């Protein structure tokens, strides 16, 4: 462990933590987005609720998600620490500052953009994660899927005391009784003010990624005339497509 | 001779690090062919004639290679032109009647000595910590007795063009010295003469850099954009790589 102590004690080490946790969070964004695309299915939430159950009960996923919470907190705490330290490195400010002449807007506002995203994660987890795990307002649905036609039918379900989510095979099909996170999402996104919070937060995420993605590779020491243009291209595409995919969900629900 | 220009100057005046400073405004007539420093000389003559205290600013060779001149001009170190130092900036880059704001490098690690002159001793201490190579005493070795591939020599030379002026620190929103340290580490780690201290050097220089109170790099690229010698941002990636591999090897 002594070999790795530099990650917490030197400026370059702290930047490495920002880069590594940041890239891990980019990977998470992809997985999260792919899973959430199931919200577009008009199946009463069968696929999405099944997925939500899997993601909150599978031991491997649960372990990874604790790692994810740690990464989010580490990225945020180290980021705030670095931003405060960097401010201290220039106590007397410039009268005239021409930052736009030599650097991109997002690169100069990473801490603000990151703070917006951090607050958003809090709101977002309060909306859905907390409600799904601990809330008692969430409704339940019972689904049956026919093996031959793949058609899904569902009814509202009244959970008993200590109700467990379960799935089982039935005559000619499959059955699922689960918490209805799908409807929870749809109910939330029918309220315009929630949709705008989500869309604006995704805009902040886009600008954060626009600088952050390629910046992480520079911090890891990867800067090469052949590879850097590719990394920058992927970074720009990632910064546009991923937040756009996330923002599409609330907008779809609101305007459908 | 072209027509003289009227320039309104707003110059930072600060008697010493212990005193607070403020802006003073001056009017100067300057020829468009003058360098910015020559215009400052005209200003100082004017101030001296009026019995005032001339503006202190750093300068030496006035041909863009010593790294002494500084000044943040209208928010940009070494002024609005790319790849030039303040001494090589000419008044024709401005227009008649312009208001020009002149400030010192602002960084906690570069305390103001007086007016526009700052103490860049932090850079000297970083160099002293590791920015050197060991050589045998005795006769000078023949030139080119150690073979170095041309492209390696070119890359090392590109980094070696750093004049240590500190524009990178002054441009960086974090007052980070990574471009300066990156240039020195890149230059010496590329050459065979720099291999003996390769790992100890990068660790010692980064430790000193952190101790001096420079900020951390956020890869905004402002340093490379404002560098009068156009040192590329890739030297910072090299520094990150050299430092991390030295640390992982237990240095």
Domain of B223? 121-248
- In this structure, are B42 and B126 located in the same domain? no
- In this structure, are B158 and B191 located in the same domain? yes
Q: Which of B220, B227, B249 has the most A C-beta neighbours within 10 Å, making it the best mutation to test the interface with A? A: B220
The burial class, CB within 10 Å (0-12 / 13-18 / 19+), for B11 is buried
Q: Is A163 on the interface with B (CB under 8 A)?
A: no
What is the CATH number that goes with domain A9-88+104-136+182-255? 1.20.1300.10
Alpha-carbon distance A120 to nearest alpha carbon in chain B (angstroms): 23
- In this structure, are B134 and B82 located in the same domain? no
For chain B, positions 52-81, list CB contacts with chain A under 8 A. 72, 74-76, 80
Q: How many domains does chain B have?
A: 2
Q: In the predicted model, is pLDDT for residue A3 greater than 90?
A: no
- In this structure, are B31 and B140 located in the same domain? no
In a domain, residue B116? The reply is: no
pLDDT of B1? 54
| Pairwise CA distance, residues B103 & B169, whole Å | 14
Q: Which of B168, B178, B219, B223 has the most A C-beta neighbours within 10 Å, making it the best mutation to test the interface with A? A: B219
In a domain, residue B111? The reply is: no
pLDDT of B7? 97
Decide if B174 contacts A111 (C-beta within 8 A).
no
In a domain, residue B184? The reply is: yes
pLDDT of A232? 97
User: Which residue pairs from A223-228 have beta carbons closer than 8 angstroms and sit at least 24 positions apart in sequence?
Assistant: A223/B233, A223/B234, A223/B236, A223/B237, A223/B238, A224/B234
For chain B of 251 residues, list the mean pLDDT of each consecutive stretch of 10: 88 94 96 96 97 97 95 96 96 96 97 97 98 90 89 96 97 97 98 96 98 97 97 97 96 87
Query: Which residues neighbour B190 within 8 Å (Cβ) at sequence distance 6 or greater?
Result: B152, B155, B156, B159
Residue B103 DSSP SS3: strand
- In this structure, are B95 and B142 located in the same domain? no
Q: Cβ B240–A16 below 8 Å, yes or no?
A: yes
pLDDT of B23? 97
- Last residue within a domain, chosen from B72, B103, B134: B103
Residues A43-66, mean pLDDT to the nearest whole number: 95
Question: Which of B76, B216, B238 minimises the CB distance to A101?
Answer: B76
pLDDT of B136? 87
pLDDT of A8? 93
**Per-residue pLDDT reduced to its tens digit, A162-183:** 889 999 999 889 999 999 999 9
- In this structure, are B188 and B243 located in the same domain? yes
The upper half-sphere exposure of residue B168, i.e. CA atoms within 13 Å in the direction of its Cβ, equals 32
- In this structure, are B49 and B16 located in the same domain? yes
pLDDT of B140? 84
Q: Please name the residue that has the structure tokens 């004690």.
A: A9
- Rg, C-alpha atoms of chain B: 20
How many other CB atoms are there within 10 angstroms of residue A46's CB atom?
21
Query: Which residues neighbour B185 within 8 Å (Cβ) at sequence distance 6 or greater?
Result: B201, B202, B205, B235, B238, B239, B242, B243
Secondary element (H or E) of residue B30: strand B22-30
Domain of B180, CATH number, reads 1.10.1060.10
| Pairwise CA distance, residues A195 & A204, whole Å | 14
For chain B, positions 205-244, list CB contacts with chain A under 8 A. 206-207, 209-210, 213-222, 225-226, 233-234, 236-244
| Pairwise CA distance, residues A126 & A145, whole Å | 31
Return the domain boundaries, chain A: 9-88+104-136+182-255
Q: In the predicted model, is pLDDT for residue A108 greater than 60?
A: yes
- In this structure, are B16 and B84 located in the same domain? yes
Question: Which of B206, B213, B215 minimises the CB distance to A12?
Answer: B206
Dihedral sign from CA coordinates of B204, B210, B214, B217: positive
In a domain, residue B112? The reply is: no
- In this structure, are B93 and B140 located in the same domain? no
**Per-residue pLDDT reduced to its tens digit, A17-42:** 999 999 999 999 999 999 999 999 99
pLDDT of A187? 95
How far, in whole angstroms, is CA B25 from its chain's centroid?
Answer: 26
**Per-residue pLDDT reduced to its tens digit, A202-229:** 999 999 999 999 999 999 999 999 999 9
The burial class, CB within 10 Å (0-12 / 13-18 / 19+), for B81 is middle
pLDDT of B251? 87
Domain of B16, CATH number, reads 3.10.20.30
| Pairwise CA distance, residues B189 & B195, whole Å | 6
Dihedral sign from CA coordinates of B18, A87, B186, B83: negative
Measured at the CA of B222, the angle between CA A224 and CA A216, to 5 degrees, comes to: 45
């Amino acid at each position: 462990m002594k070999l790795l102590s530099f990650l917490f004690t030197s400026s370059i080490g702290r930047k490495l933590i920002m880069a590594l946790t940041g890239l891990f969070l980019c990977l998470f964004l992809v997985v999260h987005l792919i899973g959430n695309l199931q919200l577009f299915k008009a199946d009463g939430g069968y696929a999405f609720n099944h997925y939500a159950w899997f993601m909150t009960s599978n031991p491997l996923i649960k372990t990874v998600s604790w790692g994810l919470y740690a990464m989010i907190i580490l990225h945020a705490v180290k980021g705030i620490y670095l931003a405060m330290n960097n401010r201290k490195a220039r106590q007397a400010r410039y009268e005239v500052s021409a930052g736009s002449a030599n650097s991109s807007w997002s690169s100069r506002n990473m801490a603000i953009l990151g703070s917006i995203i951090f607050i958003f994660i809090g709101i977002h987890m309060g909306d859905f994660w907390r409600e799904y795990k601990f809330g008692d307002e969430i409704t339940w649905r019972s689904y049956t899927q026919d093996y031959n036609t793949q058609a899904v039918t569902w009814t509202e379900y009244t959970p008993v005391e200590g109700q467990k989510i379960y799935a089982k095979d039935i005559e000619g099909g499959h059955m699922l009784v689960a918490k209805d996170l799908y409807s929870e999402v749809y109910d939330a996104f029918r309220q315009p003010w929630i949709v705008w919070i989500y869309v604006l937060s995704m805009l902040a995420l886009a600008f954060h990624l626009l600088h952050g993605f390629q910046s992480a590779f520079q911090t890891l020491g990867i800067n090469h005339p052949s590879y850097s243009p590719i990394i920058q291209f992927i970074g720009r595409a990632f910064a546009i497509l991923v937040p756009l995919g996330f923002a599409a969900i609330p907008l779809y629900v609101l305007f459908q | 001779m072209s027509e003289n220009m009227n320039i309104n100057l707003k110059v930072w005046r600060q008697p010493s690090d212990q005193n607070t400073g403020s802006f003073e405004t001056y009017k100067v007539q300057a020829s468009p062919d003058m360098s910015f420093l020559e215009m400052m000389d005209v200003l100082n003559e004017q101030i001296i004639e009026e019995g005032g205290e001339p503006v202190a600013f750093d300068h030496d060779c006035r041909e863009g290679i010593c790294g002494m001149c500084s000044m943040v001009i209208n928010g940009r170190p070494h002024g609005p032109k790319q790849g030039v130092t303040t001494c090589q900036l000419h008044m024709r880059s401005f227009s008649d009647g312009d208001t020009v704001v002149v400030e010192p490098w602002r960084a906690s690690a570069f305390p103001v000595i007086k007016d526009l002159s700052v103490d860049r001793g932090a850079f000297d201490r970083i160099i002293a910590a590791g920015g050197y190579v060991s050589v045998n005493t005795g006769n000078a070795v023949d030139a080119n007795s150690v073979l170095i591939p041309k492209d390696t020599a070119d890359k090392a030379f590109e980094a070696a063009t750093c004049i240590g002026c500190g524009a990178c620190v002054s441009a960086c929103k974090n007052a980070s010295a990574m471009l300066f340290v990156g240039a020195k580490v890149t230059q010496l780690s590329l050459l065979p003469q720099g291999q003996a201290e390769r790992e100890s050097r990068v660790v010692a220089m980064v430790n000193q850099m952190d101790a001096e109170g420079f900020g951390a790099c956020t890869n905004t690229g402002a340093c490379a954009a404002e560098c009068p010698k156009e040192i590329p941002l890739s030297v910072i990636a090299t520094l990150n790589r050299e430092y991390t591999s030295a640390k992982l090897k237990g240095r």
